[in-house]
Amino acid sequence: MFGDGIYEVIPVYGGKPFTLPRHLVRLSNSLKEIRLANPLSDAAWTDLIAEAIARSGEETAYVYVQVTRGVAPRRDHLYPPDATPTVLVMVYEAPILERKTVTPLAMITLEDFRWARGHIKTVSLIAAGLLKNEAVAQGADDAILIRDGYVTEATASNIFIAKNGVLVTPPKTSLLLHGITRDVVVELARAQGLVVEERQISLEELENADEIMITSSGHETWPVGMLNGRQVGNGEGGVLWHQVDQLFQEFKGAS
Ligand code: PDD
């Protein structure tokens, strides 16, 4: 009733959960932020997730993990003191992860009217859903969200731009989700000697970017070809996107 819970989406490649320790850290942080005790140890989560994947029989999939506050005797804003959190683990097929074709996305910018605790991966996704549906109603694939003139993220992914050979992504404040794909991309790019700046991106800078890309567990890295009806760069994946994507695919293959 209160949307009082948090979740994780973990990609599965070759029957193995990808970057699971990072997801468990974020799960634990989200739980702390909503003042809900973590019902399982990291070892127990790891076993449970492995069991769910094994039982599904899937090789390429997502694991969805959700923890909500639990069952209470009546509706009350005050947290029930003795409730046992409800844990849900679900495995589902993920055709997008096979990446047969990477068609650049068409995005529009919309005002980010979500709450100011975007770093919590909450199941309360009504604002994200409204924004995504508004973008699609306007003929786009998704929206890049702008708060006080600056990019935060997209409705379910993080944003990078490239300008003059430099990658830029917004810093990890409480206004956006600290994406795991984002972190992996930043680390891989820097290890390769690419320059990555973590700083604010103004709407004007976004509109003048040489390249725009998104990162998420669902899309890995994916180019944006159109922004607000105008072509971004050559409209295909740019040089830096290709480089970053290659690094990511190599890392995935080695994981
Ligand atoms: N979404 N920002 C938001 C608002 C997100 O919901 C997500 C992930 C990301 C990317 O985070 P990561 O790289 O850790 O997946 C950024 C998931 C996939 C979802 O809700 O389906």
The tens digit of pLDDT for each residue in 212-232 reads: 999 999 999 999 999 999 999
| The pLDDT of residue 96 | 66
Mutation to probe ligand 1, out of 6, 12, 62, 157 (largest number of atoms < 8 A from CB): 157
pLDDT of 8 > 70? The answer is yes
Reported in sequence order, the residue ranges of 28-155 that DSSP labels E, i.e. its strands, are 61-68, 86-93, 105-111, 142-147, 150-154
Secondary structure letter of residue 37 according to DSSP:
-
Secondary structure (3-state) at 90: strand
Tokens at 236, concatenated: 């295909």
**Atom 4 of ligand 1 has which residue's CA nearest to it?**
156
| The pLDDT of residue 98 | 66
pLDDT in tens, 48-63: 999 999 999 999 999 9
Residues 154, 112: Cα–Cα separation, whole Å: 9
Contact 178, 26 (CB under 8 A): yes
Residue 51 CB coordination number (10 Å): 11
Only one residue has tokens 């100011």, namely 116
User: Residues for the chain: how many in total?
Assistant: 255
Instruction: Band the pLDDT of 97: cuts 50, 70, 90.
Output: low
pLDDT of 235 > 90? The answer is yes
Ligand 1 atom nearest the C-alpha of 153 is: 2
Q: What is the mean pLDDT of the chain?
A: 96
pLDDT of 199 > 90? The answer is yes
Planar angle of CA 218, 219, 225, nearest 5 degrees: 150
Secondary structure letter of residue 17 according to DSSP:
E
| 62-88 mean pLDDT | 95
| Closest alpha carbon to 105 in 66, 151, 157 | 157
| 72-97 mean pLDDT | 91
Q: How many angstroms separate the alpha carbon of residue 216 from the centre of ligand 1?
A: 5
Residues 143, 178: Cα–Cα separation, whole Å: 18
Q: What is the dihedral of CA 114, 117, 119, 120, to 10 degrees?
A: -100
CA distances from 187 to 32, 97, 101, 180, 204 (A): 26, 21, 25, 11, 26
pLDDT of 68 > 80? The answer is yes
Among residues 121, 132, 163, 172, the one annotated as catalytic is 121
Q: Could you confirm whether 121 is annotated as catalytic?
A: yes
| Closest alpha carbon to 157 in 137, 140, 182 | 182
| The pLDDT of residue 141 | 98
Percent of the chain scoring above 70 in pLDDT = 99
| The pLDDT of residue 33 | 98
Q: How many angstroms separate the alpha carbon of residue 30 from the centre of ligand 1?
A: 13
The radius of gyration of the chain's CA atoms, rounded to the nearest angstrom, is 19
pLDDT in tens, 143-168: 999 999 999 999 999 999 999 999 99
Contact 153, 145 (CB under 8 A): yes
φ, ψ for residue 203, nearest 5 deg? -60, -40
Contact 34, 122 (CB under 8 A): yes
Instruction: Band the pLDDT of 101: cuts 50, 70, 90.
Output: confident
Mutation to probe ligand 1, out of 120, 158, 180, 219 (largest number of atoms < 8 A from CB): 158
Q: How many angstroms separate the alpha carbon of residue 122 from the centre of ligand 1?
A: 11
Q: Which domains does the chain have, with CATH numbers?
A: 5-98 (3.30.470.10), 105-254 (3.20.10.10)
Burial 57-66 (b: 16+ CB within 10 A, else e): ebeebbbebb
Sign of CA dihedral 140, 142, 147, 149: negative
Instruction: Band the pLDDT of 94: cuts 50, 70, 90.
Output: confident
Q: Which amino acid, 221?
A: T
